């Protein structure tokens, strides 16, 4: 029996050492009789080099130019998993030394046909000081995304692309005709920068560009790899098969997978891709491109090496003579059919296997526990425990809870993508259900600097003590993961951004009265933060204002918030925030004050009044953005032309509502003053909004009671 156990242990150790992931290389095959090489590039069907060798003109590869159909990018590889690699021209703007010197600029049009840039695998990159690069749709020249780099290039470092001289942001999905616009943020070209005469904007595959301080004036002729996506058809698998299958190109022994665009939680079919069915390999777009894999020559589940028999799309296993079962390691296995000796050996073998697996499981769990304890200490867990214990003794209010990683993994189904309810530049938010049936929102940050652990702990303590009806409550955190997790109360009626800009059924419910209440409640939350907790939010925007079922506003996402000590009025920080909402004064100087939140809140008021996105150009706003366009329209007496259609309709015959809209517009104008000293503070803003709310409700009650409106009053909307 001991000998059997020893042999079984040796077999198990060998098995564990040989467990690897098998990667099957899909053969890139052309149509029979067609060439498949363009230099070093392998061209698989549905792509082709000559007429009759490609699916349609959109998949024709020009081997001389290394271009597909009428696309702009230069091709370097195609793979059958739906991706291809190539390079794109960059946009640049180079300035002369003096004002009358000519400048050089390039914004070549980029056409991608039906092969969009992969939004998950590429980044829009800006290189330059106090500069920006934007992706602009050629038709209408709309800006669809932008990337800013800051001034103050005296602290540059090689390899760092985090905003100082170099910045990167994700790119949108399904962009196929655009140009990259690069420029400085400053309005003058007098007094060149010496080492920074040019600004560059380009797309690049993630992790394929490393910033160097020597790049500023030497990049015009460089190119970088970009990942593009490809598929076939324009409809879903179900639809193309329902249409009779004439346009269906997936071959025998293959499976069809939809290619979808997910936008605002809605999925839209964008074509489909073919993959070989399990047990087959090859080119799934060819009629007989998927060929059977001989699993007996590869990794398989058979207990005995010589007990494997290959079949089409699979294999079967058999046991040795005198044994019965299915012959599979993870199935019935093999057992001897008779005899006490065989039965004893079989039982001993089984016992050794079970003991080995139990030992392996215990060791694995111990390693997981050890790693979590290590991360807990690294993320400041011991310090946080002591501080929370002290706080709980000093206050009757319930302190933040420290959650175990396992509990949050279970609550989110191991952070499954179906549980994602929000995603941004600083992390991902998941919906989770705790064992007590409490629904929570769990924020998983992308990264945290080890030098900021103490600051992170202080913020957890401060935020857990915030008790305000218009601020999302922080319930606790988890420090047993690579980056700390934050657990918040769950708010279920989407964001203010979605109510304003997404064409959903409930958009008509956002009346002026609701907008006034939302603005007032948000202002009250910010005034409380500034005066009571000395916290500056730094990222106030409509997508960070959550709404409950009764449209109560809840300020959320404190991922980049900063605490200002009582004896200070400002902080010098790297600029963080969202394009369009960032205080211009803070953007230029890096000095953060409470007036920075006031500017962002002013843009929220503008958004509430106009229904326009803060950074989305529709051909009417000036190049300076929505803030300048709003203020200019207000000063010219043209407020009506930019008001949200819902407000125009509701206030058309209501003079009182028109007057309140005008007062809020004037307040918004004060909040977005370029100089922070000219802006009111949030306490003053709150007081004025509360007064407006009170007078509006009072007027509404009187109007309903008397049912009276004087038509002789001059309307602002006439």
Enumerate the active-site residues: 539
Query: What region, left, alpha or beta, does residue 313 occupy, with left being phi > 0 and alpha being psi -120 to 50 degrees?
Result: left
211, 224 contact by CB (below 8 A): no
Burial of 694 (0-12, 13-18, 19+ CB in 10 A): exposed
Q: At what angle do helices 682-706 and 512-528 cross, to 10 degrees?
A: 150
Residues forming beta bridges with residue 290, ordered by sequence position: 282
Pairing state between β 314-317 and 323-324:
unpaired
> Closest Cα partner for 621 from 680, 672, 663, 580?
580
Q: CA 536 to CA 553: how far, in whole Å? A: 18
Neighbours of 612 (CB within 10 A): 21
> Closest Cα partner for 385 from 332, 449, 330, 461?
461
Complete DSSP assignment for 35-84? --EETTEE--TT-BSSTTSSSSGGGBEETTTTEETT--SEEEEEETTTEE
Pairing state between β 122-127 and 166-170:
antiparallel
540, 525 contact by CB (below 8 A): no
List, as own/partner pairs, every contact residues 633-636 make where C-beta atoms lie below 8 angstroms and the sequence separation is at least 24, other chains included. Answer: 634/665, 634/666, 634/669
Complete DSSP assignment for 142-204? EEEEEEEEBS-GGG--TT--SSBSEEEEE--SS--EEEEEEEESSS--SS--SS--EEEEEEE
Would you report the helix, strand and coil content of the chain in percent, each value rounded to 5?
35, 25, 45
Q: How far, rounded to the nearest angstrom, does the alpha carbon of residue 333 sit from its chain's CA centroid?
A: 46
* 3-state DSSP assignment of residue 310: strand
> Closest Cα partner for 626 from 542, 552, 558, 683?
542
Residues forming beta bridges with residue 198, ordered by sequence position: 94
* 3-state DSSP assignment of residue 88: coil
Pairing state between β 401-402 and 474-478:
parallel
| Length in residues, the chain | 718
Pairing state between β 104-106 and 91-94:
antiparallel
* 3-state DSSP assignment of residue 640: helix
93, 58 contact by CB (below 8 A): no
Burial of 472 (0-12, 13-18, 19+ CB in 10 A): buried
First to last CA, the chain: 99
Q: CA 635 to CA 612: how far, in whole Å? A: 19
Strands (E), 514-635: 535-536, 545-547, 553-555, 562-563, 571-572, 591-592
Report the greatest alpha carbon distance in the chain: 109
């Amino acid at each position: 029996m001991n000998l059997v156990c020893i042999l079984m242990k040796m077999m198990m150790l060998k098995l564990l050492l040989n467990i690897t992931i098998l990667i099957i290389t899909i053969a890139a095959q052309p149509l029979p009789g067609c060439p498949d090489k363009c230099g070093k590039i392998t061209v698989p069907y549905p792509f082709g080099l000559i007429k009759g060798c490609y699916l349609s003109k959109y998949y024709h590869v020009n081997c001389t130019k290394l271009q597909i159909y009428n696309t702009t990018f230069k091709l370097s590889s195609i793979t059958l998993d739906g991706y291809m690699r190539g390079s794109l021209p960059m946009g640049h703007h180079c300035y002369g030394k003096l004002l009358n010197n000519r400048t050089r600029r390039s914004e070549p049009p980029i056409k991608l046909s039906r092969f969009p840039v992969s939004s998950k695998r590429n980044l829009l990159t800006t290189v330059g000081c106090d500069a920006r690069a934007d992706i602009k749709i050629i038709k209408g020249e709309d800006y669809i995304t932008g990337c800013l780099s800051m001034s103050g290039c005296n602290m540059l470092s090689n390899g760092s692309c985090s905003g100082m001289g170099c910045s990167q942001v994700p790119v949108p999905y399904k962009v196929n005709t655009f140009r990259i616009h690069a420029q400085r943020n400053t309005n003058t070209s007098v007094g060149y920068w010496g080492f920074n005469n040019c600004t560059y904007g380009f797309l690049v595959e993630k992790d394929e560009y490393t910033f160097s301080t020597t790049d500023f004036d030497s990049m015009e002729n460089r190119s970088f790899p970009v990942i593009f996506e490809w598929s076939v058809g324009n409809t879903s698998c179900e639809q193309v098969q329902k249409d009779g299958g004439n346009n269906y190109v997936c071959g025998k022994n293959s499976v069809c997978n939809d290619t979808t665009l997910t936008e605002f939680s809605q999925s839209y079919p964008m074509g489909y891709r073919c993959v070989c069915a399990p047990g087959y390999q090859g080119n799934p777009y060819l009629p007989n491109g998927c060929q059977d894999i001989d699993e007996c020559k590869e990794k398989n589940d058979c207990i005995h090496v010589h007990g494997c028999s290959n079949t089409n799309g699979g294999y079967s296993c058999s046991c040795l003579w005198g044994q019965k079962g299915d012959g599979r390691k993870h199935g019935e296995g093999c057992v001897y059919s008779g005899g006490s000796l065989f039965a004893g050996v079989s039982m001993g073998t089984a016992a050794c296997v079970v003991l080995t697996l139990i030992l392996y499981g215990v060791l694995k769990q111990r390693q997981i526990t050890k790693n979590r304890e290590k991360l807990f200490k690294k993320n400041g867990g011991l310090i946080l425990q002591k501080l929370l214990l002290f706080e709980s003794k000093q206050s009757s209010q319930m302190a933040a809870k420290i959650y175990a990683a396992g509990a949050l993994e279970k609550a989110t189904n191991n952070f499954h993508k179906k549980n994602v309810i929000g995603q941004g530049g600083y992390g991902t938010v998941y919906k989770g259900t705790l064992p007590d049936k409490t629904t929570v929102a769990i924020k998983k940050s992308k990264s945290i600097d080890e030098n900021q652990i103490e600051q992170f702990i202080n913020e957890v303590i401060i935020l857990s003590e915030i008790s305000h009806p218009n601020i999302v409550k922080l319930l606790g955190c988890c420090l047993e993961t690579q980056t700390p997790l934050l657990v918040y109360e769950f708010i279920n009626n989407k964001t203010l951004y979605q109510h304003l800009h997404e064409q959903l059924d409930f958009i008509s419910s956002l009346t002026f009265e609701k907008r006034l209440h939302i603005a007032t409640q948000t202002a009250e939350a910010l005034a409380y933060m500034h005066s009571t907790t000395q916290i500056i939010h730094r990222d106030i925007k409509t997508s960070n204002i959550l709404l409950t079922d009764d449209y109560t506003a809840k300020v959320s996402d404190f991922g980049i918030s900063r605490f200002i000590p009582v004896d200070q009025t400002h902080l010098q920080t790297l600029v963080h925030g969202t394009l369009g909402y960032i205080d211009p004064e803070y953007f230029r100087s890096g000095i953060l004050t409470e007036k920075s939140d006031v500017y962002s809140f002013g843009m929220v008021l503008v958004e509430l009044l106009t229904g326009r996105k803060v950074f989305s150009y529709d051909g009417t706003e000036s190049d300076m953005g929505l803030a300048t366009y709003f203020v200019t329209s207000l000063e010219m007496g043209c407020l009506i032309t930019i008001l949200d259609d819902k407000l125009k309709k509701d206030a058309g015959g209501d003079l009182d509502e028109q007057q309140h809209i005008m007062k809020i517009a004037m307040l918004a104008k004060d909040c977005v003053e370029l100089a922070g000293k000219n802006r009111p503070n949030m306490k003053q803003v709150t007081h004025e909004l509360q007064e407006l709310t009170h007078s509006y409700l009072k007027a509404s009650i009187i109007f309903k009671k008397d049912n009276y409106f004087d038509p002789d009053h001059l309307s602002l909307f006439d």
